[in-house]
Amino acid sequence: MKRIVIFASGSGSNAENIIRHFQAGQLARVEMVLSNKPDARVLVRARDLGTSAMYFNRTALNEGKVALLLEALNPDLIVLAGFLWKIPEELTRKFKGKIINIHPALLPEYGGKGMYGMHVHQAAIKDRKEKSGITIHYVNEHYDEGAIIFQASTPVTEADTPETLATKIHELEHRHFPIVIETLLNEQ
Ligand code: GAR
Kindly report, residue by residue over 59-94, the tens digit of the pLDDT: 999 999 999 999 999 999 999 999 999 999 999 999
The residue whose C-alpha atom lies closest to atom 6 belonging to ligand 1 is 82
Fold entry, domain 2-187 = Rossmann fold (3.40.50)
| Confidence band, pLDDT 50/70/90 cuts, at residue 144 | confident
State in Å: Cα 43 to ligand 1 middle: 15
Active-site pick, 103, 121, 137, 174 = 103
Residue 103 annotated in active site: yes
Cβ 133 under 6 angstroms from ligand 1? no
| Confidence band, pLDDT 50/70/90 cuts, at residue 113 | confident
| Confidence band, pLDDT 50/70/90 cuts, at residue 114 | confident
Computed over every residue of the chain, the mean pLDDT equals 97
CB 181 within 8 A of CB 77: yes
What phi, psi does 88 have (nearest 5°)?
A: -65, 150
136-145, 148-157, 159-168: lowest mean pLDDT where? 136-145
With a cut of 90, say whether residue 182 has pLDDT above it: yes
What residue spans define the domains of the chain? 2-187
Kindly report, residue by residue over 8-28, the tens digit of the pLDDT: 999 999 999 999 999 999 999
Cβ 102 under 6 angstroms from ligand 1? yes
Cβ 17 under 6 angstroms from ligand 1? no
What is the distance between the alpha carbons of residues 188 and 100, in angstroms, rounded to a whole number? 14
Q: What is the pTM of this model?
A: 0.97
The residue whose C-alpha atom lies closest to atom 14 belonging to ligand 1 is 116
With a cut of 90, say whether residue 153 has pLDDT above it: yes
Cβ 13 under 6 angstroms from ligand 1? yes
80-84, 109-113, 122-126, 168-172: lowest mean pLDDT where? 109-113
Residue 5: exposure state from Cβ atoms within 10 A (0-12, 13-18, ≥19):
buried
